[in-house]
Amino acid sequence: MKKIGFIGLGIMGLPMASHLLKAGYEVIVYNRTMSKAQPIVEKGAKLADSLRELARESEAVIIMVKADAEVEEVILGNNGILEGAKPGFIIINSSTISPKTSIRLAAKTAKAGVEILDAPVTGSGVQAIEAKLTFMVGGNEEVFKRCMPLFTVMGKQAFYMGESGKGSYTKLGNNVMLAINLLAVSEALTLIYKAGIDPEVFLQVVGGGGARSGMAETKIPKIVKRDYKPAFGTAMLAKDLALASDLARELQVPVPVMSTVKEMVQIAVAKGFSDEDVCSVIKCYEEWAGIEIK
């Protein structure tokens, strides 16, 4: 495959598409806000006038948009991908959506002779820029193997998880762990800072033992610098936790810790931190503790 479409040029999508362009792929892009496509168009990507046109000119398309409704609209909507896709076309959906939606889309695209992979990623905007994303993929295994060169250009590794929906299931499990870890870091950091401990030294201590975590390593420096520019937005995490909560009910799995974390993230959203990085949840703790960590 040489002609790759890309839909959704936000924090994650723009660097992912840029890596494909740098690797020599012919990249055709579409974004609802067309101005966001300008930086990559100036570097050589082609801008499609519609999703239908993008599908007609591509061999495969990667989707990186916010939620289920947007993914469905992009694929099934009027003048959407399925209207322009030929049999054998491949859709790689890297958006985080409900496994039910992934499975439903696989059934609908199959009727048109189109393959679809649910291929969400671990990592934030920083990892997208550095091409260090990890893909977790559900769908046809042979199609997964055909798409491996694309995954290795945009990220560091890709795992085949099973049939359609399994990539989406894996992503929700990953983000449950991420969110719980985020709140653990926030509570511990608030506690030690109010006790007079240097947070940067604390991070070094944590890094040498069993409490070491990616959340501590990436978010404590941001918190200390008061840097809430989003690598992963709070509203997006709240959306993912809502999906995970739905899944827990469906599978009848008790999730008491996740339920508490979900409410904490929702409090951060209610306080106006939706578009800030997920580590902005620390500001809730700071308010309650009467401190400002820096």
Can you tell me the distance from the alpha carbon of 200 to that of 220, in angstroms, rounded to the nearest whole number?
8
Q: Which residues are catalytic?
A: 171
Q: What is the pLDDT of residue 183?
A: 98
Question: What is the distance between the alpha carbons of residues 213 and 215, in angstroms, rounded to a whole number?
Answer: 5
pLDDT at 32: 83
Percent of the residues in the chain that have a pLDDT greater than 70, as a whole number:
100
Residue 36's pLDDT is 85
pLDDT at 123: 85
- pLDDT digit string, tens, across residues 4-58: 999 999 999 999 999 999 999 999 999 888 888 999 999 999 999 999 999 999 9
User: Partners of 63 in the beta sheet?
Assistant: 7, 93
What fold characterizes domain 169-289? N-(1-d-carboxylethyl)-l-norvaline Dehydrogenase; domain 2 (1.10.1040)
Domain residue extents for the chain: 3-163, 169-289
Q: Please, what is the average pLDDT of the chain?
A: 96
Q: What pLDDT is stored for residue 31 in this prediction?
A: 87
SS3 of residue 26 by DSSP: strand
Tens-digit pLDDT profile for residues 59-102: 999 999 999 999 999 999 999 999 999 999 999 999 999 999 99
d(CA 86, CA 100): 25
Query: Which CB contacts under 8 angstroms, 24+ apart, belong to 25-32?
Result: 25/1, 25/150, 25/153, 26/2, 28/3, 28/4, 28/54, 28/57, 28/58, 29/5, 29/54, 30/5, 30/6, 30/54, 31/7
Share of the chain above pLDDT 90, in %: 95
Check whether 124 has a pLDDT greater than 90.
no
Inter-residue contact 79 to 51 (CB < 8 Å) = yes
The tens digit of pLDDT for each residue in 149-191 reads 999 999 999 999 999 999 999 999 999 999 999 999 999 999 9
Give this prediction's pTM.
Answer: 0.93
* Token output for 135: 């893909």
What pLDDT is attached to residue 223? Answer: 97
Q: How many CB atoms lie within 10 A of CB 145?
A: 11
Q: Can you tell me the distance from the alpha carbon of 4 to that of 83, in angstroms, rounded to the nearest whole number?
A: 17
The 3-state DSSP class for residue 17 equals: helix
Are the beta carbons of 45 and 28 closer than 8 angstroms?
yes
Provide the pLDDT confidence category of residue 104 given band limits of 50, 70 and 90: very high
Q: Is 273 exposed, middle or buried (0-12, 13-18, 19+ CB in 10 A)?
A: buried
3-163: which CATH number, 3.40.50.300, 3.20.10.10, 3.40.50.720, 3.40.30.10?
Answer: 3.40.50.720
Please report, for residues 10, 155, 211, the alpha-carbon distance to residue 97 in angstroms, rounded to integers and kept in the order given: 17, 20, 30
Average pLDDT over residues 195-223: 95
Tell whether the model's pLDDT for residue 281 goes beyond 90: yes
In this prediction, residue 33 carries a pLDDT of 83
DSSP code for 89: -
